[in-house]
Amino acid sequence: MRGMMTLHGVSADDYLAYVHKIDHSPLEPNPALGEAIAKLAGRKLILTNGSVDHVDAVLARLGFASHFDGVFDIIAAEFEPKPAEQTYRKFLSDHAVDPTRAAMFEDLARNLTVPHQLGMTTVLVVREDWELEGRDAAHVDHVTDDLTGFLDRLAR
């Protein structure tokens, strides 16, 4: 996106609107996951390389938009995507998050390196075999293919 903006003068808003104009109908409501998220203590924040509009559409489709306290998107990150260290630092600062009391859930192990270095507990969430790459890395504290079950165990 940065290249499109810098080299071709593409508007960030136009670009994000275009790339996120996708069919969300394959996403099914997931009440069990929503309940597991709702039971967790503390704030729940989303850090995404996408846009707030995209997050809003996904959360609405899944049926648990009300369970999150904020979204830090690519615009808030000043167009520096994960895994850039400055993005995580800005996220933590903007939301007054103590990284030693926070967990980062991610589907790409490489995006957990910096959060781990900053003191966050890291969780690799896998749905597909290709997402297992990096699961044994030192910066991955936990791996789960059952996010609902994992969160239910945390809430207990």
Tokens 């260290």 — which residue?
85
- Reference 83, options 41, 56, 54, 120; nearest CA is 120
Domains, the chain, ordered by start: 29-155 (3.40.50.1000)
Partner residues linked to 124 by β-bridges: 106, 143
Helix axes 52-62, 12-19, angle to 10 degrees: 30
38/32 Cα distance (integer angstroms)? 10
Render pLDDT for 56-113 as a digit per residue (tens, 0 to 9). 999 999 999 899 999 999 999 999 999 999 999 999 999 999 999 999 999 999 999 9
- Is the whole-model pTM more than 0.85? yes
Render pLDDT for 122-142 as a digit per residue (tens, 0 to 9). 999 998 776 677 888 999 999
